[in-house]
Structure 1
Amino acid sequence: MGQKVNPISNRLGIIRGWDSNWFGGKNYGDKILEDTKIRKYLNARLAKASISRIVIERTLKLITITVHTARPGIIIGKGGQEVDKLKEELKKITDKEVQINIFEVKRPELDAIIVANNIARQLEGRIAFRRAVKMAIASTMRMGAEGIKIQISGRLNGAEMARAEMYKEGRTPLHTFRANIDYAQAEALTKTGLLGIKVWICKGEIYGKPDLSPNFATQDKPQRKGGNFKKRRK
């Protein structure tokens, strides 16, 4: 089961909190749709800000949005001008008062979505996929991750037949619920077609009852454990 299910959803309520925190009645579906619109808008509007996670909390008249980003300066802007402009834009979308909290991702090399998006940008810039993957693995392990696994699928190097290649270093125990596994997937639109990227990063193990609030620092540096660089072709 651990190999098939999304590692984040599999750990919800155990070591990971939800990205939407609110209660809904009859208009439950409308709120989900609105959350989706907010996330799509922010990911498109702040594409250069290396966004990791968007957490949405609601009260009767206020929507609080916590944005986890590796580049908070892009969102805040000079003197807070950009974040004020962003609040007004979101207010037009939701017709409610919006509060934006910025949470800095201090070690983006340990964040799966940032790593996946960086690989995707390199592939779109015609960097060799093996080089991009090896650089990502080296930087992640250097920052103290216990393990990382990356899978790239599609017409690799312009091959006629699509295939998938997986690269791994260290340990990524997907069946261990206390293991702090971050997971993300991204797509790269290249000249020869669409390439899919999946990234699993193990940051260590969490014991006891962790704080599941949106500002919970999930990037505490774990102890590094050795592992040989391995390649497996599917």
Structure 2
Amino acid sequence: MGQKVNPIGFRTGIFVDWKSRWYASKKEFGDLLVEDKKIRDYVSKKFKSAGVCKVEIERTRDEVRVVVFAARPGVIIGRKGTQIEQLQDELQGLVGRRINLKIEEVGRPELQAHLVAEDIAEQLAKRAAFRRTIKRALESTMEAGAKGIKVQLAGRLGGAEMARREKQIAGSIPLSTLRAKIDYGFVEAKTPQGHIGIQVWINQGEYEDQNDGADAQEGQASKKPKRSYKR
């Protein structure tokens, strides 16, 4: 039996930073966690067309900082920034705290696993052939400069009576190598026959060398004992 591990959770705290960065006591932790979920769900549902792939949340004593990563930030910002102000007010009403909102643009949407999974889900909802859809996703991602991609679908594929799994891989996907920069996304496609689960793994290369052990040689203890000077 294979042990399946979420690639993002596997690397969190080593090469990947937490998506929620704050500290709270045991009494407040649950409520703040629910608040984070509400913010993420609200932004993702309202701006589905903007290609939101990640929402990071930081908390201070005075405010909640929300950073939204989107492929099309103009959809969220709106004309002259009117829509972003409206979203900020709506989030403040939802959470009941002061919100500091920031929008970041995603450079290559083809290399973001969540956005690739959403694109596949949209095509399956329009009754496109699932094998052709997977093949197009693999080709576009590899052309964008990815080292590898793996796509797996599970459900009543093609309207079949029995649910099954189908997967296709292009390039290399080293899931157990921590240094490999693997992005993971999961989306459910709602089809008339039922829901189809879409999992996407994208190998974006390797993480850059960390400076944790750069000064190890300089900080190494000398073999000769240092002289002690008496005052």
- TM > 0.5 fold call: yes
Q: Who is 2:5 aligned against?
A: 5
The higher radius of gyration belongs to 2
Q: Who is 1:144 aligned against?
A: 145
* CA offset digits 1:74-121 (Å, max 9, x no partner): 000000000000010011112221111111011000000000000000
> Are positions 1:196 and 2:194 aligned together?
no
* CA offset digits 1:9-57 (Å, max 9, x no partner): 0000111111100110131111101111111111111111110100000
Pick closer, same or farther for the CA change 1:130–1:150 going to 2, 3 Å.
Answer: same
| Residue 184 (structure 1) shift | 0.8
Q: Who is 1:30 aligned against?
A: 31
Contact 1:183 1:198 in 2 (8 A): yes
Q: Who is 1:86 aligned against?
A: 87
Contact 1:67 1:103 in 2 (8 A): yes
Whole-Å separation in 2 of the counterparts to 1:181 and 1:173: 8
Structure-to-structure mapping, 1:105-120, within 5 angstroms: 105-120=106-121
* CA offset digits 1:113-142 (Å, max 9, x no partner): 000000000000111111111111000000
Gaps of 5+ in 2: 212-231
- Superposition RMSD in Å: 1.4
Whole-Å separation in 2 of the counterparts to 1:47 and 1:206: 29
* Secondary structure at 1:145 match in 2: coil
Structure-to-structure mapping, 1:16-55, within 5 angstroms: 16-25=16-25, 26-55=27-56
Whole-Å separation in 2 of the counterparts to 1:108 and 1:81: 25
| Residue 194 (structure 1) shift | 1.2
Whole-Å separation in 2 of the counterparts to 1:96 and 1:159: 48
Whole-Å separation in 2 of the counterparts to 1:160 and 1:38: 37
| Residue 207 (structure 1) shift | 3.5
Contact 1:148 1:169 in 2 (8 A): yes
* Secondary structure at 1:55 match in 2: strand
Q: Who is 2:218 aligned against?
A: none
Gaps of 5+ in 1: 211-234
Contact 1:3 1:174 in 2 (8 A): no
* CA offset digits 1:178-204 (Å, max 9, x no partner): 100000111111121111110000011
Whole-Å separation in 1 of the counterparts to 2:210 and 2:63: 29
Whole-Å separation in 2 of the counterparts to 1:64 and 1:179: 29
Structure-to-structure mapping, 1:185-224, within 5 angstroms: 185-209=186-210
Q: Who is 2:65 aligned against?
A: 64
* Secondary structure at 2:17 match in 1: coil
* Secondary structure at 1:122 match in 2: helix
Q: Who is 1:217 aligned against?
A: none
Whole-Å separation in 2 of the counterparts to 1:2 and 1:170: 21
Whole-Å separation in 2 of the counterparts to 1:90 and 1:191: 33
Whole-Å separation in 1 of the counterparts to 2:172 and 2:85: 43
Pick closer, same or farther for the CA change 1:116–1:3 going to 2, 3 Å.
Answer: farther
> Are positions 1:133 and 2:134 aligned together?
yes
Whole-Å separation in 2 of the counterparts to 1:59 and 1:207: 30
* Secondary structure at 1:57 match in 2: strand
* Secondary structure at 1:67 match in 2: strand
